[in-house]
Each structure stands twice: as C-alpha cells, then as structure tokens.
Amino acid sequence: MQTTVFETPIEFLKGVGPERAKLLKSELNIFTFGDLVCHYPFRYVDRSRFYKINEVNAELPYAQIIGKIRNISNAGANRQLRLTADFYDETGSIELIWFQGAKWVRKVLTENAEFIVFGKPVYFKGKLNIIHPELNLLKPKTGGQDLHGLENPSSREKPGGIGLTLQPVYSTTEKLSAMGLNSRGIQKLLSSLFEKIQGSIPENLSEDILLKWKLLKRNEALLKIHFPDNARALKMAQSRLKFEELFFIQIEILKIKMSREKGLRGLVFAKVGEMVNRFYKEILPFSLTEAQKRVIKEIRRDLGSGKQMNRLLQGDVGSGKTMVALMCMLIAADNNFQSCLMAPTEILANQHYRNILFLLEKLGLKTALLTGTTKAKERRELHQNLLNGEIKILIGTHALIEEEVKFKNLGLVVIDEQHRFGVEQRAKMQMKRPPDIPDESSEHPPEFRNPNDLAKVVSPPAFQSPPHVLVMTATPIPRTLAMTIYGDLDVSVIDELPPGRKPIKTLHFTDAQRLQLYGMMKKEISMGHQVYVVYPLIFESEKLDYKHLEEGLEALEISFPKPQFQISVVHGKMKQKGRELEMERFLKKETQILVSTTVIEVGVDVPNASVMVIENAERFGLSQLHQLRGRVGRGAEQSYCILCTGDKLGPDGRLRMQTMVQTNDGFKIAETDLQLRGAGDLLGTMQSGEINLRIANLALDGQILQAARKTAEEVLSDDINLAKPANLPVATQFAILQKGKKDWSRIS
C-alpha cells in the first residue's frame, strides 16, 4: 500500500528534535505528521473581539483589551519580586502582574504607548488582574516589540500569527509546555508542518461525496481547522472533518453488517413447536401486547433465516422484555438448542430464574441457575449437564462467561440490561458455542477495544455457526449513539406498556417537604402498597453514602415504628444471604419499606410497590433516575416517584429533576442525558468499550451522522469491497485506518 506524507515520523519535522519527539509520543500520542495534523484545537479564542475594561470580569475565559500603561512598579521582596502596572482605557483600569521575567518585561513596558493586552482576567487580592498577559504594541515602532513569544504585528498574515481572528487553543501537558510546546508552540509546529505538506495531503473522500454534501477538500479543511480565517471557514472545516470521521466509522460498521448479512452461516431454528405452543396456550398468564407480538415476529424471522441474529431489543422499563426473551428461548428449545440468559446482578438473575422456573414447571424443560455464589459441587454437576445437553435453559450472572462453562449446543444468548455489561463480556458469551469443527483459537477470544469489534466475533470463520444474540436494554439509547455503538445490530423496539398501567407521577421534594413525604408514604402503605427508598452509592464517597443510608434509616425507623411498620434493608456491604433474605421479606410483603443502595436498580419486579423515593437524587444521572423510577408503576395502581434533593441545586441538577418531573418517555430522557453529559461519559457508564472521536460530537452532530451513514450505505451497497476506481480515495483511507487499529502496540 502506498504510504502518505501523513505517515512520516514526527522527528522529521523542523523544530522537533529527538527529545521533543519523545515527549510528543508519550504525552499526546503524536507519532507522525498525520497525528499532529489531527491534533485539532479543542477551542478557539476570538481575537477579533476587543473589550472595554469596564466590561471585563473574572468570568471571561479571556479578554483582549486596547489601552495604555501607567504606574509601573516593582513590589515584593527579593526572591518574590513582582512587577505590576496599571492598564487603563477610557472606562477604567485593570492591573497587570508579572511574577517571572520582571526585569526583562520592565524594559519593554512603555508608559503612554498603546498596547493590546490579552489574557485571563482573575481576581487576585481583591482586584481584577491579568497575570502574565500577552502584550503587543498597537502601533509598532520599526521592527515592533515582541513579548512572550508573540510574533510582532507585522507578521499577521502568516499562519500562526496573532492576525488570526480565531486563535486555536491546543491541549498540551506540563512536560510539553516546559519544552516550549505549549499551545502556541504546537501551533508553530503546525505552521511549519503545513508549509511542508500543504500540497501533498491526499483526499480521502470521492469526488461524488464532496460534491453531494458540498464539503471542503481535505487539505483545505485541515489547514482551516488549524488556521481559520473566520468563523464561517472554521465551521466548514469542522463539518468536513466531522463528516469524514463519522463516515469512516460507518463504513467499518456497515461493511461488517453487510458482509454478515450476505453470509448464510446462522443456525436455523426452522420450527415453532410444542414448547412454544403449549406455553402460549396453557401457561402465558396474560395476552402479549401488540409490540411484544411484533418484536417476537421480527426475532422469529431472524432465527429462521439462516443468518445469525444480532438484535438489540429496546424497551422502556416494565415493557415486558423478559417475556419476549423467554418465548425466544422456547423457540430454541423447540429446535433442540440450548439457550442462556445473562443478567447483570445476582438479585436479578435470581429473580429471572425463579419466575422462569415457575412458568416452565409444566413444560418439563430443565432450567438452571449459575451465579458467583453457586457452590462448587453444584457447579460441577451443572457443567456436566450443560455439556451433555440436559440443561436447556441456563440463567445467571457474568459467571456464565467463565472458561469452564461449556455448552453442548448453545443456540441463543440473551443478554439482559446490556448497558451493564462490558463489550468484552458480550463478546465472550458468543464464543460459548463450540465450533462445528474444532478450532483452538476460539478458546481465546481476542481482546476487544472497540465496541464494534463485537461484530467481528459475530462473524467467525466460515465453518463456525455462532449462536444467535439478543441484547436487551431498558436504557433507550439516543439514535445517534445507537447508530455508532450498535450500528451493526438490528434494532427492535417495544414501544408500548402492558395495558392498565397508569403513568407514574413524579414529584420533586426538598428537605423542607419531608413530613409531606412521610405522610404520602404512610397513606400508600395504609392502602397495602409498598415503598422503595433508594440512596446513591458512588465509589469515591462510599463511606459517606453508607452514612447517609444509615442516618436515613434511623429517621425512618422513628417515623415508621415497629411493629406497625417493617423495614427491609439491602446494600452492598451485606452478605449475599442477608440481602436475599431481606429482599425476600419485601417480595413476600412482610415489610412495607425497602431501604437500599442502588443494588435494586435493575430489573427487580415487585408489582405491589407504588412509591419510589430517591434520596440525594441530584447525584444520579438521568438514565439511572429513569431506571429507578421504572421499579414502580408495574401494577394497576397509581404510582409515585419522589425525587428528594437539598434546596440548592446546580443548573444541571435542576434540569435533570425538571426533565424527570416532566416526562416518562425514556427516549426523551436519553436525549437530554446525552446533551448534558456528552457521549463519552454516557458511554463510560454504558460500555466498557470506547469510541474515540476526535472532532465529532454525538450529542450535537446528529445531522452530520445521518448524512455520513446514508453516504456509507450508498457507497457500500454499490461496491462493498470498495474496489471501484471512484472509491479509491475511500478505500485507501479505510485501509490506513484498519492498519492503524491493529497497530495498538504503539499506544500504551
């Protein structure tokens, strides 16, 4: 493959010696010219804007002011010598301070000459100051004055000069800054880099695509992202580069998806037989909702198609995903395949097991439970019965992905509350099916660094038929995110709750309303209902969280005294046995209140519970709040979710509470969550995998993503191997990106 100028090692750039090169690599992962070019500014400072001094305040990130200097003075003792000067215009004055280089600065400060001062205003010793400002003479004498690395104004046209109205700001580190590579130092490197490579940056989008979306050429976009002439040029450059970034991700995802769909390697579940029919006629305790029926149909089509199913099932909390999963497992059983259901917590696995065991009793399908606490002896027996095929349905936690767990004939993997599992775990589960022809390598699933790598496991060598995979989540994922993380999965949505449910009423209470809250709780309890009280549990402040829980519990015990009231307590510090016992008491209605940390968050189903009280609600993210709220409202009665916070809330916290009070729609909540937290954070809690976006922002760039996806679809459906001449630029770039991915060794 042809190499491009982008692959030139960074050492070869003028101004980068071996030492700087070493630091650029270790600190910023900049190994090549290409890496430097793609080290985009994270922000721009508007140098076209000048402030009057009376407009300046410490909130401004930067201010640029024209004025004059007076009252230059040295202050402080020898070792702490500092230089100060008043800087004034017709509206007022501000102090300039230098702690370093005072002697030298002193020489160039001229009273009554006009300067442009640029810097971050701060409050220091009760006064507004700019410390170590950038300083330029407005009307330079011959030769001009250049302080602190600023080029003199006569060099304004040159890239990197202050003539740029939008000055880029680059991320850097202390070590790099100490070597002269602060933001401006990096800008200088880029300036000399562009002088060198400007003409030889290869285009990586086809002519058609550029024309269709009116995109800047790549070399122009890269130049303008670093050296924008104005806001409009910058915007165009950003759009082009965002498009490019998202486009190549989509090419990768869609290539995998399309080639998988072309192959005919899936296990075929040809029939719906006795198990399904009997279950449907004799056991199913309610009629399915239309949405459930539709989704089961979609899944059945997949299972019978000869293609491997990879389906994401989204449905709000309480929409009845478990029943859909169970029906699918019965289809597997009807076709003599085993299936398994993996849940993220022990409590949830137990609950699934109990419910399913109860439902399947009549059918005589052997169902087993495997969790971290399953005893060794039981475990051995269970392994045996999985291998000989006696166990048809296995339910458990991530204990299911341990090495020793081997199936005779695994046909379907259901993963519940998927956002709780790492991609790695998801992928390992799919390796659980022994290859149709022995293959040593399948015992060691590769490491997954990118969520989309999952799809590669899904397409193993041709002789293996992987099990079908159904991934379920109650955290609705914004479309943009789903298209990126789950872009290779088909999506089914249950958009309907079982009939008879009343929408949950959500209220926001502050501390002053505690009596009112207790009153509500008492009223509900007197009607025979039950109440959850949940405390956050955050790793860093675990101790504090437990203290909150304990104090809260004490207060509750006073207001809800025994024997009239009984309270269960469940938290992570308790032994498994104790937790189960307490949970059990609540399930059996022996207790009316369940006080817990977030262990109950996922999936637990107690239809009789009608109130969810969330303490310190401001400390929860939106999707978590929504999840918790979904624990109630499962019966026919009116249910309530009470968000308790202190009086003072930040703007984010306030918006979260408002959103919760205003809507029950999980998708709306997910969108707001994405806006608030950004994709990175959201992913952090949803996935252990990562998506590294350099410039695009999934919360903001939905439109560009749509365009990129559409374009990728068009390109691939016409030319899946990117072999046509018109697609050469795309193919070349794609190959480079793939190669870079394999080359993980260079990233420590």
Is the peptide bond preceding residue 563 cis, with omega within 30 degrees of 0?
yes
Q: How far is the CB of 696 from Mg ion (least distance, A)?
A: 32
Q: Which is nearer to ligand ADP, 246 or 359 (CB)?
A: 359
Phi and psi dihedrals of 710, rounded to 5? -60, -45
* Total chain residues near ligand ADP (CB under 6 A): 18
List the end-to-end C-alpha distance of the chain, in Å, as a whole number. Answer: 26
Q: How far is the CB of 352 from ligand ADP (least distance, A)?
A: 9
Q: Which is nearer to Mg ion, 352 or 432 (CB)?
A: 352
Q: How far is the CB of 399 from ligand ADP (least distance, A)?
A: 21
Q: How far is the CB of 285 from ligand ADP (least distance, A)?
A: 7
Q: Which is nearer to ligand ADP, 42 or 358 (CB)?
A: 358
Q: Is 265 strand, coil or helix? A: coil
Show the site string, 563-602: x = touches ligand ADP by CB under 6 A, - = not.
Answer: ----------------------------------------
Q: Quick one: 278 exposed, middle or buried, by C-beta within 10 A (0-12, 13-18, 19+)? A: middle
Residue 168 touches Mg ion, criterion: CB under 5 A: no
What are residue 45's DSSP bridge partners?
167
Q: How far is the CB of 508 from ligand ADP (least distance, A)?
A: 24
Q: How far is the CB of 630 from ligand ADP (least distance, A)?
A: 6
At 560, list the tokens.
């809800």
Identify the helix (H) or strand (E) that includes residue 114.
strand 114-119
Q: Which is nearer to ligand ADP, 16 or 604 (CB)?
A: 604
672 binds, among Mg ion, ligand ADP, none (CB under 5 to 8 A by kind): none
617-651 b/e with 16+ CB inside 10 Å = b? bbbbebbbbbbbbbbbbbbebebbbbbbbeeebee
Q: Which is nearer to ligand ADP, 206 or 473 (CB)?
A: 473
* Positions 282 through 341 that interact with ligand ADP (CB under 6 A): 286, 288-289, 292, 315, 317-323
Q: How far is the CB of 605 from Mg ion (least distance, A)?
A: 8
Distance CA 484, CA 709 (A): 9
* Positions 720 through 739 that interact with ligand ADP (CB under 6 A): none
Residue 624 touches ligand ADP, criterion: CB under 6 A: no
What are residue 453's DSSP bridge partners?
none
Distance CA 289, CA 603 (A): 19
Residue nearest to ligand ADP (CB): 320
147 binds, among Mg ion, ligand ADP, none (CB under 5 to 8 A by kind): none
At 523, list the tokens.
């009223």
319 binds, among ligand ADP, Mg ion, none (CB under 5 to 8 A by kind): ligand ADP
Q: Which is nearer to ligand ADP, 426 or 634 (CB)?
A: 634
* Total chain residues near Mg ion (CB under 5 A): 1
Phi and psi dihedrals of 235, rounded to 5? -60, -45
Residue 634 touches ligand ADP, criterion: CB under 6 A: yes
Sheet holding 127-131, edge to edge: 121-124, 127-131, 92-98, 82-89, 63-75, 114-119, 134-137
367 binds, among ligand ADP, Mg ion, none (CB under 5 to 8 A by kind): none
Q: How far is the CB of 626 from ligand ADP (least distance, A)?
A: 11
Q: Which is nearer to ligand ADP, 320 or 466 (CB)?
A: 320
What are residue 121's DSSP bridge partners?
130
Q: Which is nearer to ligand ADP, 154 or 355 (CB)?
A: 355
Count of CB atoms situated within 10 Å of the CB of 376: 7
At 745, list the tokens.
């060794």
Identify the helix (H) or strand (E) that includes residue 611.
strand 609-614
Distance CA 170, CA 184 (A): 8
Q: How far is the CB of 225 from ligand ADP (least distance, A)?
A: 44
Distance CA 281, CA 327 (A): 12
Q: How far is the CB of 590 from Mg ion (least distance, A)?
A: 24
Q: How far is the CB of 128 from ligand ADP (least distance, A)?
A: 55
Q: How far is the CB of 507 from Mg ion (least distance, A)?
A: 25
Q: Which is nearer to ligand ADP, 180 or 635 (CB)?
A: 635
Q: How far is the CB of 612 from ligand ADP (least distance, A)?
A: 14
Show the site string, 592-631: x = touches Mg ion by CB under 5 A, - = not.
Answer: -----------x----------------------------
User: Amino acid identity, residue 688?
Assistant: S
At 540, list the tokens.
């860093």
Q: Is 596 strand, coil or helix? A: strand
Q: How far is the CB of 417 from Mg ion (least distance, A)?
A: 6
Q: Is 362 strand, coil or helix? A: helix
Distance CA 339, CA 395 (A): 9
583-614 b/e with 16+ CB inside 10 Å = b? bebbbeeebbbbbbbbbbbbbbbbeebbbbbb
Residue 478 touches Mg ion, criterion: CB under 5 A: no
* Positions 470 through 489 that interact with ligand ADP (CB under 6 A): 474
In this structure, is the dihedral angle defined by the CA atoms of residues 443, 734, 693 and 184, taken in order, positive or negative? positive
Q: Which is nearer to ligand ADP, 319 or 338 (CB)?
A: 319
Show the site string, 554-593: x = touches Mg ion by CB under 5 A, - = not.
Answer: ----------------------------------------
475 binds, among ligand ADP, Mg ion, none (CB under 5 to 8 A by kind): none
320 binds, among Mg ion, ligand ADP, none (CB under 5 to 8 A by kind): ligand ADP
Distance CA 68, CA 85 (A): 10
Residue 493 touches ligand ADP, criterion: CB under 6 A: no
HEC secondary structure over 283-322: HCCCCCCHHHHHHHHHHHHHHHCCCCCEEEEEECCCCCHH
Residue nearest to Mg ion (CB): 603
Residue 498 touches ligand ADP, criterion: CB under 6 A: yes
Q: Which is nearer to ligand ADP, 290 or 714 (CB)?
A: 290
Q: How far is the CB of 471 from Mg ion (least distance, A)?
A: 12
Distance CA 189, CA 24 (A): 11
Residue 605 touches ligand ADP, criterion: CB under 6 A: yes
Report the length, in residues, of the chain.
Answer: 748
User: DSSP alpha helices (H): ranges in 109-262?
Assistant: 174-178, 183-197, 207-212, 218-226, 231-262
Question: What's the gap between Cα 422 and its chain centre?
Answer: 12
315 binds, among ligand ADP, Mg ion, none (CB under 5 to 8 A by kind): ligand ADP
At 183, list the tokens.
């933001």
* Positions 173 through 232 that interact with ligand ADP (CB under 6 A): none
| Residues ≥6 apart with Cβ < 8 Å to 232 | none
Residues that bind Mg ion (CB under 5 A): 603
Residues that bind ligand ADP (CB under 6 A): 286, 288-289, 292, 315, 317-323, 474, 498, 603, 605, 607, 634
